[in-house]
Amino acid sequence: MNPRALHSVLILTALMFVPVGQAAPGRWDVRDQGAKGDGRTHDTAAIQAAIDAAHRAGGGTVWLAGGRFVSGTLRFRDHVVLHVEAGATLQASPRLEDFPTSPSVHPSYTGERITGKMFLHAEDARNIGIEGRGTIDGGGETWAEGPYGSPSFHFRPRLLHFVACENVQIRGVTFRNSASWTLSFLECRDVLLDGFRIESRENPDIEQPRYYRVRGRNNDGIDLTDCERVRVANCFINSGDDAIVLKSLSPTGRCRDIAITNCVVSSNASGIKIGTESAGAFEDIVVQNCTVFDTRCEGLAVLSVDGARIERVSFSNISLRNIKGDALLVRLGARDRTYRTDAVVNKGAIKDVMFSQIQGGRISALGSAISGIPGGMIENVTLRDVVLECEGGGTREQARRVVPENIKAYPGSAMFGGSLPAYGFFVRHARGVVFDNVHLRVGRVDYRPAIRCEDVDGVSIHRLRAQTVPDVEAVSLANARNVVR
């Protein structure tokens, strides 16, 4: 027989004797470890055993298929990927005792060196991930409405919390119904978040009051805290709190080299936000090709209030719709909250922020704001090719309103205590602001100017098209220096 033909026959013969159902090399089926997947049995031990076995073997894929697997905290190990097959669900246990806290070498949100309560947890792990077309369910209603009586933020388990991990990839799955933050990453590096869905919005009707049906549970979509080299792409996020938010808890930490692209987000708070927790630095961040709709607070926000330095941030090709707060908010404040023991608060700064090719409709009467504080000027903000249609309806009295500084306030749409003296952009304590090809219009007659600038230096306004009533100027200036129009 021809040697090549003989080789093929031997291979086929060997395959005939592989037992049916045997796991492929490098794959650990949790059922082989005793998991039932019947929606009643608690499969924590079996799933964790599969994770540990894959880790001991040098790495591989832990496989969940064909059932609802109830589990408490699962801890990822190096070189292990969790695969949740289409039709399978990994379900968070409703039992408090299944989510223990334990010591940690890394400080938590409050600075304590504990893990807190987590459903999926990893610490100092390498080459880990989650994939598949199945569902991971956080069972959020158990913690906010069930037997635990709406416990505090630090009591409810986050759906996923990875700390100081490297080379993380999450793809494809649906995360739903988190009891707290959905996907949380603290001090992680080289993270790819691609093509998954988050459905974690307990009060979905944006036209109703925020908690019209049940209490909220701080269920952010994605939180990136002091992380570097992160790509977020092709995701749909519908969250009960901020959809995508970057944070910094350490005055020496930083969020850096982050790209967010091709995402569709909606939120009962902010859409895409840098801050509010803002102790360290945020730099080299790009957000592009995204749609943001139905948000209770800001559509896009850049916020430094705890001493953060923010620079080289770019938003481009973004569509906004039905934004109940500010469409765009850039805020430098001085709340000066600390999150680490004996932390020293840095001097905050925001500079080199660009918004380009931004379109928005059904923007609230608040419009947008760029506001520093006395002695703290925001620098070099460019708005180019921006088209916004705001709700309008402002009065002449609102146009004359003196806006309080509120330098220590929580940064958000409500921090100024009411309407702003412009329907489009309120700019204060800023240097080097450029408006280039900005088109502003209103849905109802508005007696406020389109743009109001107070204590500004170096403002350039080119190709502005703004809808106004006959006796109201498009641009109003007070203590404005070096204005080019």
**DSSP string for 123-161:** ES-EEEEEEESSEEE--HHHHHTSTT-S--TTTSPEEEE
Region 469-478: mean pLDDT is 96
Q: What is the mean pLDDT of residues 441-462?
A: 98
Return d(Cα 330, Cα 275) in angstroms, integer: 10
Closest CA to 303 of 331, 336, 328: 331
More confident site: 252 or 23: 252
Which has the higher per-residue pLDDT, 407 or 16? 407
What are the CA-CA distances from residue 268 to residues 293, 324, 484 (Å)? 10, 10, 39
pLDDT at 483 over 80: yes
Question: Across the chain, which distance is largest between two alpha carbons, in Å?
Answer: 98
Asked whether the whole model's pTM tops 0.85, one would answer yes
> Mean pLDDT of all residues in the chain?
93
71 has pLDDT over 70: yes
Model confidence over 345-394: pLDDT tens digits?
Answer: 999 999 999 999 999 999 999 999 999 999 999 999 999 999 999 999 99
Residue 152 predicted with pLDDT over 70: no
CA distance 38 to 41: 6
Q: Measured between alpha carbons, how far is 421 from 476 in angstroms, rounded to an integer? A: 9
Report how far apart the first and last C-alpha atoms of the chain are (Å, whole number). Answer: 88
The predicted model gives 172-195 an average pLDDT of: 97
Domain for residue 18, yes or no?
no
Domain-located, residue 164: yes
Is the pLDDT at 459 greater than 60? The verdict is: yes
Pairing of β 300-304 and β 272-278: parallel
Q: Is the pLDDT of residue 20 over 80?
A: no
3-state secondary structure of 96: helix
Do you find a cis peptide bond into 135, omega within 30 degrees of 0?
A: no
pLDDT per position as a tens digit, 89-135: 999 999 989 999 989 999 988 888 988 899 999 999 999 999 999 99
Mean pLDDT score, 148-154: 62
The pLDDT of residue 22 is 41
- Alpha-carbon span 284 to 314, nearest angstrom: 8
269 in Cβ contact with 247 (< 8 Å): no
In a domain, 2, yes or no: no
Q: What pLDDT digit, counting tens, does each position of 28-67 carry?
A: 999 999 999 999 999 999 999 999 999 999 999 999 999 9
Nearest to residue 174, comparing CAs of 219, 201, 121, 137?
137
Question: Is the model's pLDDT at 13 over the cut of 50?
Answer: no
Residue 359 is inside which H or E element, if any?
strand 349-363
Which backbone phi and psi does 10 adopt, to 5 degrees? -65, -40
27 falls within a domain: no
**Hey, which residues does 160 pair with through a beta bridge?**
120, 183
Q: What is the CATH number of the domain that holds 103?
A: 2.160.20.10
Q: Is residue 283 included in any domain, yes or no?
A: yes
Query: d(Cα 81, Cα 79) in Å, to the nearest integer?
Result: 7
Residue 467 in domain: yes
What's the rounded Cα separation, in Å, for the pair 263 and 291?
6
Residue 448: give the domain boundaries: 32-484
Number of folded domains in the chain?
1
| Cβ atoms 329, 301 nearer than 8 A | yes
Flag whether 173 is in a domain: yes
The vertex-116 CA angle with 140 and 114, nearest 5°, equals: 175
Cβ atoms 411, 310 nearer than 8 A: no
Asked if the structure places residue 8 within a domain, the reply is no
Task: Please compute the mean of the pLDDT values over residues 155-170 and round it to a whole number.
Answer: 95
- What stretches of 1-81 show up as alpha helix (H) in DSSP? 3-16, 44-56
Residue pair 262/231 in contact (Cβ under 8 Å)? The answer is no
**Can you tell me whether residue 482 is helix, strand or coil?**
strand
pLDDT band with cut points at 50, 70 and 90 for residue 24 = confident
Calpha distance 239→183 (Å, rounded): 11
